[in-house]
Amino acid sequence: MKKVAQVGNALKQLEEYGRNDPKTNPGERLLGRMDLTGSYSEKNKGRNQRAFMAPKASKAKPHKAKGEKKKKEEKALPTIVDITVEKPDLARLTLKGISTDRILDVRKLLAVHVETCHLTNYSLSHEVRGPRLKDSVEIVTLKPCHVTLVAEDYTEELAIAHIRRLLDIVACTTAFGPPSSKNAGGSANSASNSSKAVLQSRNGVAKDGEPFPREVSDSSPKPQGGSSKFVSLGATAAGAPCTNQKEELAIYPLPKLGQFYDFFSFSHLTPPLQYIRRSSRPFAEDKEANDLFKIDVRVCNGKLVTVVACRKGFYPAGKGVIVSHSLVGLLQQISRAFDGAYKSLMKAFIEHNKFGNLPYGFRANTWVVPPIATDSPSVFSLLPTEDETWGGNGGGQGRDGKHDHRNWGREFSIIAGMPCKTAEERQIRDRKAFLLHSLFVDIAVLKAVGAILNLFYNRVLLHDELTDPNAVLHKEQIGELNIVVKKDVAVASIKLDIKLDGSLAHGMSSKELAPRNLLKGITADESVTIHDTATLGLVVVRYCGFTAVVKVPIERRTTASQDYNIEDQPEGGSNALNVNSLRMLLHNSTAQEFSVSPQSQCFEDDNLQTSRYLVRKLLELSCSKLEEECVLQRKSIRWELGACWVQHLQNQSSGKTEPKESEESKVDPTIKGLGKQLKEIKKKTVDRTGKIEMNQERSTEANKSQLLHNGSQEEKEMMLRKLLPEEAFLRLKESNTGLHAKSPEELIEMAHKYYEDSALPKLVADFGSLELSPVDGRTLTDFMHTRGLQMCSLGRVIELADKLPHVQSLCMHEMVVRAFKHLLQAVIAAVTGIDNLSASIASCLNILLGSLPSENVDPSLALEDYLKHKWLESFLCKRFGWRWQVESWKELRKFSILRGLCHKVGLELAPRDYDMDSPHPFRKSDIISIVPVYKHVACSSADGRTLLESSKTSLDKGKLEDAVNYGTKALSKLVAVCGPYHRMTAGAYSLLAVVLYHTGDFNQATIYQQKALDINERELGLDHPDTMKSYGDLAVFYYRLQHTELALKYVNRALYLLHFTCGPSHPNTAATYINVAMMEEGLGNVHVALRYLHEALKCNQRLLGSDHIQTAASYHAIAIALSLMEAYSLSVQHEQTTLRILKAKLGAEDLRTQDAAAWLEYFESKVQEQQEAARNGTPKPDA
């Protein structure tokens, strides 16, 4: 029994160390937690010091300290609240809410519950608070926490929204399945044409085909098969992303882009509906006063039903007696087939995830379009959420035109002048600023896109306008919005200045911009964004080969009270503008639909050849232009650099970092000690005549020099006083950095020195310690920009990161993406009509990402390949200061480059398994559309971000009570400023989930993380780094709740997306392998788990080094897994390596080192037990 208890304890400890810190990669074991996506602001630290708990009785209670604090923590912790909802049929539901929830959150919970997800038009009442509770009512104020769902009357708009909800719910059976066979590129696994049914709302009837057989490398295992059996060593998927040879034998089969939407697809089920459309049958004389409109509904068995929508609900035409408040309820009454199909779908939803995260409400917001859109690219069948036929839209505000003539400049100045001394004042001010700025950005983007499209379709450009980058093609004034449109130049070597702090945007020279940005940075406070109204009122939009700059006039700051009002956002900030909804479709006629006829194929080949010639000419021109350029030393400065510089100097003065000795400190005698001072005094007493006089003369000269110095210092202070507002100057002076006494020229010189000597090395050091772990170009760019670092320094980062191959790889990929972006933008700018745009883009992508055949190479292909490499080498040298090696091409992950290109240029592609090993991986029909790419300053809550950082810091130090307090306050602040369901609030939900996870409240952590995932999927995109992170975090939370098969499903989704972003050779991928291993262990598949752990170990050794603490974590994880197989001698070997690394890196006193020593002692005791049993011939203790 003792042996059983010990093994059970070991298993428990294995689970504990396996979940030591899910803050960024929740299952990462042991020591330094690994970030899955690099998405928590810019700081991703957090190490659980108690990660190595050995299973011995005397040392197996590491959480005693946490238990002793429990009473204090309970005061700060949000708690789970059971919310009872009584439906109109008197049935009751119990929802799991949180004490911070409001009625709006209850509505969201009802929307993701299978029994109520189809309901839309209702109010909630309370026996004490009365009927129609407002969305802002807090549920903790409801005593008892029991509400009643009351059906409300429909208007025409509300009835249309109700129908849209039903279409949205059933869309997963048709929209995300494989495309029709004619579009699948000859794939053997193409499914039927069922994806044309519900969404198109036309006459096309879905076929009831067989369930689609998923391939073994599917990223989402079926609910009934939880052991992840598709994983096999050495397996590679056909058509998998092109990658380097070292990664070909990875344990996880390389994923297929064509399976991107399989995770959300229920195409194996019968769609409950074939279509819903407005009925063409007019009302007869039987129309009632409450009738609104008619719809025709064809259910799954082909039966056509005409339904009347009225104020009380829905009823079959001619049968007004049967009225149901919901359309689902009516169809269930009158159609047994619909009832069965709908219940099967709800059952599948529960099997997919019984906690929620229902697969509806999605928007086409990802560079890979839903499969339904590829069936008819000239139409682009919209998902219901965005389908205007049923009242949907692309989100955002300002489409109605009522804000066109708003006094933007005055309103921005009023907000900038609002009181902001206290946190409460700033919260009120920040909320108003956020609402106004969000509205401004939406309208600016819509108006800029409209102006560009008007130019694109209706004006023939002259030669000078096409070649002059400064030629203004269009000026427009809409109210106070000033819109200026220019044509992009069709030369890939010309870099346009489209930065928010650039010369083009502000109308200032680069020489004037550098001191402006630096002074803004070194005087920055919580209001820096809002007080800079010039940047706040600025949006830059690139679209279809044009660039539009939208600005509002700058007005003098106006002192205003807090009575200034602005309209609130609907739905808690959800459904923000999806810029992809402003797409330009590149296939405008049915003749351009996918076709496999020889004639059409021949025509497309000719079209592509013509386009390749255009790309080839652009490459030749760009190469010659680049060769004429000299390497320019960039002197621009981002304002964030100044803010980080001040923080760096303050940390030095407070002793948080080891400052280098300055020259002044070297000559200061008080620093040297009393010995030298006494020696000098003795010298003076020996010879008081000449030497003292000489010293007096020197002293006089020094005083004169000091007076001159003081005079020049005063002049410099006066110079800065003239350039800065008085309040900003005093703030700089009180920062105790001495920067207030420097001239602008000196400040710029010092800032550049800080940039090179401190900022860049610190960034690389954070990469090495895994405090920062970017997974793609977007997170890498964010990390650098928040520190004021410019992307032209990527070459220097590669040099500094010589021991971090994954960082070098990310930098290399980002440089290539940025280089290719210029060429692709030049190609788009060179094409004058929409008819040739898709062919030109496909040809450009083929040249950039295609591969030469191994033999019989066509001379034109060889020439294009030569020009590509020549141009790339020259571009990287001139722009990034990096010498490109042709051999590096083999190391590139082409799908990662494709993804980055689509984000930066604004492309939407078909979800197809592109063969990157061929010279022509892309067809004209693969390029579905172009979407706008825009830039604007982020406006949220600086106080909220500070609280998030404080919560993370407290979590790092193991101060869970403080972490909960800060995290709860941060969430409250961001909810108050941005709204509970805005994309900026999702990060706060995610962080608080991690903090609560550490307190042991897995249920509440899961609720928060599900909120974050729901927001990220719909607002940020299905492969956004934050979305990836939510999948990984949620997987570990589910595992902790003992839903291992569900956890495997979500962790494999995270792993699938990671392979498309950072690839298998990345610490985050290795960390996710450890998560998978942990879950496989939970299912009893220890051998499978060991293979994942060995893969993670090899990855960490290769990327971080054999002596990194993350490598120690891998050794420890393997030791635990081996112990479950009773291979204790091998466990000892691995734990010895763990202990050796930790002693060298952390010291013997560190808690993690002590825990490793305790584990080693435990394993050694087990080895002794086995040896004793073998000598005595006695059975095993647990036999």
pLDDT at 681: 34
Q: Distance between CA atoms of 169 and 120, rounded to whole angstroms? A: 12
Tell me the per-residue pLDDT of 1167-1183, one tens digit each, with 9 for 90 and over: 999 999 988 877 665 43
Residue 55 in this model has a pLDDT that exceeds 60: no
pLDDT at 329: 96
Q: Distance between CA atoms of 740 and 475, rounded to whole angstroms? A: 41
Tell me the per-residue pLDDT of 1044-1064, one tens digit each, with 9 for 90 and over: 999 999 999 999 999 999 999
Confidence grade of residue 598 (pLDDT, cut at 50, 70, 90): low
Residue 88 in this model has a pLDDT that exceeds 50: yes
Q: Which amino acid is at 773?
A: S
Tell me the per-residue pLDDT of 110-124, one tens digit each, with 9 for 90 and over: 999 999 999 999 999
Q: Report which of residues 222 and 882 the model is more confident about.
A: 882
Q: Distance between CA atoms of 963 and 973, rounded to whole angstroms? A: 15
Residue 203 in this model has a pLDDT that exceeds 50: no
Architecture in CATH for domain 76-151: Roll (3.10)
Confidence grade of residue 628 (pLDDT, cut at 50, 70, 90): confident
Ordered by start, the domain boundaries in the chain are 2-69+960-1176, 76-151, 167-211+261-371, 408-564, 607-632+813-935
pLDDT at 158: 97
pLDDT at 618: 93
Q: Distance between CA atoms of 1087 and 1075, rounded to whole angstroms? A: 15
pLDDT at 630: 75
Can you tell me whether residue 1052 is helix, strand or coil?
helix
pLDDT at 210: 31
Residue 897 in this model has a pLDDT that exceeds 90: yes
Q: Distance between CA atoms of 57 and 1051, rounded to whole angstroms? A: 33
pLDDT at 201: 40
- Arithmetic mean of pLDDT over the chain: 82
The β-bridge partners of 935 are 540
Written as six digits, the tokens of 1085 are 């598949």
Which residue has tokens 């060179």?
830
Confidence grade of residue 493 (pLDDT, cut at 50, 70, 90): confident
For 475, which DSSP code? E
Confidence grade of residue 180 (pLDDT, cut at 50, 70, 90): low
Q: Report which of residues 29 and 644 the model is more confident about.
A: 644
Residue 996 in this model has a pLDDT that exceeds 60: yes
Contact between 1040 and 19 (Cβ < 8 Å): yes
Residue 538 in this model has a pLDDT that exceeds 80: yes
pLDDT at 163: 98
Q: Distance between CA atoms of 944 and 952, rounded to whole angstroms? A: 13
What DSSP line would sit under 1143-1156, residue for residue?
HHHH-TTSHHHHHH
Which residue has tokens 């309040």?
727
| Pairing verdict, β 273-278 and 291-299 | antiparallel
Residue 662 in this model has a pLDDT that exceeds 70: no
Q: Measuring CA to CA, how many Å separate 1091 from each of 222, 231, 1045, 1049, 1108?
A: 22, 10, 19, 19, 21
Confidence grade of residue 691 (pLDDT, cut at 50, 70, 90): very low
Query: The pTM is what?
Result: 0.85
Other Cβ atoms within 10 Å of 287 Cβ, number: 12
Residue 217 in this model has a pLDDT that exceeds 60: no
pLDDT at 462: 67
**For 243-252, 343-352, 449-458, which range has the lowest pLDDT when averaged over its residues?**
243-252
Tell me the per-residue pLDDT of 270-309, one tens digit each, with 9 for 90 and over: 999 999 999 888 776 677 888 999 999 999 999 999 999 9
For 381, which DSSP code? P
| Nearest partner of 1089 among 1097, 1079, 1098, judged by Cα | 1079
pLDDT at 718: 86
Confidence grade of residue 703 (pLDDT, cut at 50, 70, 90): low
Among positive and negative, which fits the CA dihedral 634, 635, 639, 642?
A: positive
pLDDT at 49: 30
Residue 129 in this model has a pLDDT that exceeds 60: yes
Residue 795 in this model has a pLDDT that exceeds 70: yes
Contact between 1039 and 1077 (Cβ < 8 Å): no
Confidence grade of residue 192 (pLDDT, cut at 50, 70, 90): very low
State in words which class domain 2-69+960-1176 has: mainly alpha
Which residue has tokens 């010589």?
802
Residue 543 in this model has a pLDDT that exceeds 50: yes
pLDDT at 521: 95
As a whole number, mean pLDDT of residues 837-859 equals 93
Other Cβ atoms within 10 Å of 756 Cβ, number: 12
pLDDT at 461: 73
| Nearest partner of 347 among 361, 358, 335, 360, judged by Cα | 358
Residue 58 in this model has a pLDDT that exceeds 50: no
pLDDT at 898: 98
Q: Report which of residues 556 and 41 the model is more confident about.
A: 556
Written as six digits, the tokens of 465 are 């306008």
Return the percentage of the chain with pLDDT > 70, whole number.
Answer: 78
Q: What count of residues does the chain have?
A: 1183
Q: Distance between CA atoms of 696 and 699, rounded to whole angstroms? A: 5
pLDDT at 535: 92
Tell me the per-residue pLDDT of 1097-1150, one tens digit each, with 9 for 90 and over: 999 999 999 999 999 999 999 999 999 899 999 999 999 999 999 999 999 998
